[in-house]
Amino acid sequence: MENTEQSKDTVSKWCIVSMASIPLVMTLGNSMLIPVLPILERKVGITSFQSSMIITSYSIAAVFLIPVAGYLSDRFGRKMVILPSLILALMGGLVAGFASWLLDEPYTWIIIGRILQGIGAAGAMPIILPLVGDLYKDNDEKTSSCLGIIETSNTFGKVLSPILGSVFAAFLWFLPFFSISIFSLISIVLIFFFVKVPKEKDEPLKMKEFLKNAKNIFKEEGKWLFTVFLNGIFVMLVLFSMLFFLSENLEKVHDIKGVIKGFVLAIPLLLLCIASYISGRNIKGNLSTMKKIMIICLIILSISTGFVGITSDKLILLLVVTSLVGMSIGVLLPVLDAIITENINKEERGTISSFYSSARFIGVAAGPPLMSLVMNDYLSISFITASVLGLILLFIVITYIKVEEIEN
């Protein structure tokens, strides 16, 4: 194994930029389509639920394949998994784009393209978390700081997504599909040339050992791990439900469309991005601080979520409430990343962070279709229910995130 000094030297600014490009691209690949969904419904002739499946098909593929990618990255190397995955994401964008352009009934092929992109996301995005841990070894402070940059790139992608999606769709409604392929190509080039992964001399685990180790980790650390996983599911469920609702609400209730709608959608996401950056820069590997942040964020998130439906016809109040939701999620995400990355041994880091990423995609997958079903008749009730779930999760965090036990 290369020594620590050599490993640190490999972490150049371009290396960090290259790693940060993956969550940026993968977030654009999903979130960029949210403001375009109402246009897709009209152009392709599909229902709100069917349009939500364009987001969900991407996420479901990722849910099931992310743990496999985690094992493969531990066994064959992070870069060997990331690059083919980005190529699949590129191909998926082309399939969806050409189907939308050339076919009279493109919906089925759009879904196929989105599944390909989801497979690509499964093999690229979650591998970044353990890769950061590999590069910085046992330096928790630098790991937390870099994870903050990675998570900020993720959230910055969410800020850019509605704007870029709306701008591209203003030229051609299916252009966002092709743009995903272009962004994937840029990320492929960056990863290939600038990410230098430390070489390992240790023999990678066989599948039987891998499964046994994963089982032991969840047996020993399961309570706090599942608590972190539940937080990941919950925040992404709330976020993507809210974004899907906002995209429909801004058009149908407030008559805000096109590029202007993209900028309005970006307001809560911009605050989420800023909050994520500040959080990542300041947690500095202190688990006690992380727990306090989790508690505060869950309180703010639970209260503000309950008011989203109530304020749906009052634009300014709605943006204030959704911005509070965005900020609390933004602060929480780097904390969850850091707890996983800093408190799991390197040998199992890829596996566990992959399970965590998979859990987050469950929330992404479930949010839009659930919201499409409840939006017309049970809007306020659904957000109040989410608020109650947040308070239950707060109790679980207080009970099962025990600082001394995790650190030991």
State percent of the chain over pLDDT 70: 91
Token pair in block for residue 264:
């309005």
Whether the per-residue pLDDT at 249 is higher than 70: the answer is: yes
Question: What is the distance between the alpha carbons of residues 326 and 221, in angstroms, rounded to a whole number?
Answer: 29
Whether the per-residue pLDDT at 202 is higher than 80: the answer is: no
What local confidence, expressed as pLDDT, does residue 146 receive?
Answer: 80
Beta-carbon contacts of 286 under 8 Å, excluding residues fewer than 6 positions away, are none
> Helix, strand, coil shares of the chain as percentages rounded to 5?
85, 0, 15
| Average pLDDT of span 14-25 | 85
Beta-carbon contacts of 331 under 8 Å, excluding residues fewer than 6 positions away, are 275, 276, 278, 279, 293, 297
Average pLDDT, the chain: 85
pLDDT band at 140 (very low <50, low <70, confident <90, very high): low
Q: DSSP state, 34?
A: G
What local confidence, expressed as pLDDT, does residue 203 receive?
Answer: 63
SS3 call for 375: coil
| Average pLDDT of span 139-144 | 70
What local confidence, expressed as pLDDT, does residue 3 receive?
Answer: 44
| Average pLDDT of span 146-169 | 83
Question: What is the distance between the alpha carbons of residues 221 and 212, in angstroms, rounded to a whole number?
Answer: 14
Beta-carbon contacts of 227 under 8 Å, excluding residues fewer than 6 positions away, are 396, 397, 400, 401
The CATH H-level superfamily of 4-192+206-407 is MFS general substrate transporter like domains (1.20.1250.20)
SS3 call for 123: helix
Report the 10 Å Cβ neighbour count for 206: 10
Q: Tell me: the pLDDT tens digits for 340-394?
A: 877 777 667 767 877 888 888 899 889 999 999 998 888 999 999 999 999 999 9
pLDDT band at 199 (very low <50, low <70, confident <90, very high): low
Q: Tell which residue, 88, 165, 98, 155, has the closest CA to residue 121.
A: 88
Whether the per-residue pLDDT at 99 is higher than 50: the answer is: yes
Question: What is the distance between the alpha carbons of residues 371 and 144, in angstroms, rounded to a whole number?
Answer: 33
| Average pLDDT of span 78-106 | 92
| Average pLDDT of span 98-111 | 93
| 127 or 173, greater pLDDT | 173
Question: What is the distance between the alpha carbons of residues 327 and 333, in angstroms, rounded to a whole number?
Answer: 10
Whether the per-residue pLDDT at 318 is higher than 90: the answer is: yes
Element (H, E) at 313: none
Question: At 299, which amino acid appears?
Answer: I
What local confidence, expressed as pLDDT, does residue 266 receive?
Answer: 92
| 142 or 104, greater pLDDT | 104
pLDDT band at 407 (very low <50, low <70, confident <90, very high): low
Question: What is the distance between the alpha carbons of residues 292 and 335, in angstroms, rounded to a whole number?
Answer: 10
Question: What is the distance between the alpha carbons of residues 354 and 128, in angstroms, rounded to a whole number?
Answer: 10
- Most confident range (mean pLDDT) of 34-48, 180-194, 206-220, 385-399 is 385-399
Q: Tell which residue, 138, 71, 77, 9, has the closest CA to residue 353.
A: 71
What local confidence, expressed as pLDDT, does residue 408 receive?
Answer: 65
Whether the per-residue pLDDT at 18 is higher than 90: the answer is: no
Asked whether 254 and 292 are in contact (CB, 8 A), the reply is: no
- Exposed e or buried b for every residue in 70-102, given b needs 16+ CB within 10 A? bbbbbbebbbebbbbbbbbbbbbbbbbbbbbee
Asked whether 232 and 154 are in contact (CB, 8 A), the reply is: no
Token pair in block for residue 147:
């994870």
Question: What is the distance between the alpha carbons of residues 368 and 389, in angstroms, rounded to a whole number?
Answer: 18
Whether the per-residue pLDDT at 210 is higher than 90: the answer is: no
pLDDT band at 8 (very low <50, low <70, confident <90, very high): very low
Question: What is the distance between the alpha carbons of residues 266 and 264, in angstroms, rounded to a whole number?
Answer: 5
Domain boundaries along the sequence of the chain: 4-192+206-407
Token pair in block for residue 172:
């051609």
SS3 call for 133: helix
SS3 call for 365: helix
State percent of the chain over pLDDT 90: 42
Token pair in block for residue 263:
């900028």
